[in-house]
Amino acid sequence: MSRRTANPANVFNRIPGRAYLLIAIVIFASANAVIRMLTNLGDQNLIDGRNPISFCNVLFAGNLCALIALIFIYGKQWNVESLKRLSWTDWLGLTGVAILSGALAPALTFMALDLTMVNNVVLIGRIEPPLILALSILLLGERVNKWVIAGAVVSFIGVSLTVLLQTPATDMVNMGRFQIGRGELFAAGGAVALALSTIISKVKLRQIPLAIFSIYRMAMATLVFFVVVLMLFEPNHFMDVFSPFLWRWMLIYGMVIVVGGQLCWFRGLKITGAADVSLASSFSPIAGILAAYFILGEVPTMAQYIGGAVIIGGIVLNQIGVFRKMAETVTLPPGNSDKEADTEVGFKGV
């Protein structure tokens, strides 16, 4: 009698695409809490009074890990023939998206994590989908059903409640009649940068292969961030970037959050449809709040409970609209691409 041996490839192929997407969402949603945990750990292990796991070091090292992972995944597709097809406006669009989504948005998010609760960053980040929808309608003439619009409006109200019901802090910024914490302002700025990068991707980068898009975005983002930090600060700002203590933890962060998350996400994108991606992404705020609780012991405030509940209501309305749209059109609308699905999840740790 012959014994049947399990082929690992067949085992992975049997895993549903939705499972890959949900695993990726959980990993990405944990990124904010893990980053805060690592910086707290760095505060407890100073090197000559400096935190080796500073936000700048984490972002720079995280981008390098992500770049290595993307080259490993897509390196074979980066060839001269594909590059020759790109016009100078394509490269300009790629550079703009790289700066917005790869350098500016993560930097603002990391600054927000340094000033406010992780739950605030998670919930305020949900302003991104309504912004993308509003810009798509106004600038691109995109047509959506009333359920999607209602979901965006309700989600925006939830984000607003999260901000406005906060207990006043010492680092408030005057915004006319209202005041908003600097951390919350940075979190909103990061979401706006991601929304703008998504719109640019829709307008200009639809036909660019995901391999070129992903690798160039991460490489340019790493370079731009490094140069900007050197211009704003002294070169010794990155003095501890090659610290063994930093990289001991960054290898774990890179393998789990960056590499593990990216592999699961890209695998899920490959074998699922837009409805599955949208549904999986809707669990991101819940996963982020749970991660902050289990990793950091961060309990939501009343403002976060109220705002989060309203945001979840908006997400439910949005999902009703998405599935109704999918019922009307079996296939993806013309021009939709993996890049747009890739940006739907928002901040992914780097």
pLDDT digits (tens, 9 = 90+) for 109-147: 888 888 889 999 999 988 888 888 888 888 888 888 888
Instruction: Quote the mean pLDDT of the chain.
Output: 81
The answer for residues whose C-beta is within 8 angstroms of residue 87's C-beta and 6 or more apart is none
**Whole-number pLDDT of residue 203:** 80
Instruction: Decide which of 150 and 230 is more confident.
Output: 150
Q: Which two tokens stand for residue 194?
A: 């991601």
State pLDDT tens for residues 283-303: 888 889 999 999 999 999 999
Q: Which two tokens stand for residue 281?
A: 């992404």
Q: Is the pLDDT confidence value at 48 over 80?
A: yes
State pLDDT tens for residues 297-321: 999 999 999 999 999 999 898 888 8
In this structure, are residues 348 and 261 in contact, taking their beta carbons and an 8 Å threshold?
A: yes
**Whole-number pLDDT of residue 10:** 59
In this structure, are residues 324 and 196 in contact, taking their beta carbons and an 8 Å threshold?
A: no
The torsion region of residue 86 among left (phi > 0), alpha (psi -120 to 50) and beta comes to: beta
State pLDDT tens for residues 67-116: 887 788 777 878 788 888 888 888 998 999 889 988 888 889 888 888 88
**Whole-number pLDDT of residue 329:** 59
What is the torsional sign of CA 302, 305, 311, 317? Answer: negative
